[in-house]
Amino acid sequence: MSNQVDKEALSEAIKKIQSIERAMESDKGAYMAKCEDNRETIKEIKQAARDKGVPTKELNAVLKRKKLMDQVEAVVSNMDEDEAELVDQMELSLGWAANDNEDQPEAA
């Protein structure tokens, strides 16, 4: 085995990778700008809701709970019916009924 590296192949690989990395950085910047626009829109919506009497702390709690419920549902969404039913039975055996949150682990 030779310790020689094809300088042309190495140079070509480095140039291609660096080009892709620069494109990724540009994409990341565009994504971050779009996220900032979206965060500003959400802030405006929350302010409008607050102006109409919706308490911000509770609105944020409802939004967080909805996101968590969607994540919980996603856990079994790709399972077949029998697997999902077994998950439900296992949770019930642990006392984790749908409306009994006392024994469930807390969300992070």
Cβ neighbours for 50, distance < 8 A, ≥ 6 positions apart = 56, 59
Neighbours of 49 (CB within 10 A): 13
Q: Are residues 7 and 50 in the same domain?
A: yes
Quote the CA–CA distance of 82 and 72 in Å, as a whole number: 17
**pLDDT computed for residue 108 by the predictor:** 45
Q: Are residues 10 and 46 in the same domain?
A: yes
**pLDDT computed for residue 71 by the predictor:** 94
Q: Are residues 61 and 46 in the same domain?
A: no
Phi, psi at 52, each rounded to 5°? -95, 10
Number of domains in the chain: 2
**pLDDT computed for residue 8 by the predictor:** 93
Q: Are residues 6 and 47 in the same domain?
A: yes
Quote the CA–CA distance of 23 and 30 in Å, as a whole number: 11
Give SS3 for 44.
helix
Please state the pTM of the whole predicted model: 0.59
Domain span including residue 61: 55-108
Q: Are residues 41 and 62 in the same domain?
A: no
DSSP 106: P
Low-confidence ranges of the chain (pLDDT < 50): 107-108
Strand ranges in 1-108 using DSSP code E only, listed in sequence order: none
Q: Are residues 83 and 40 in the same domain?
A: no
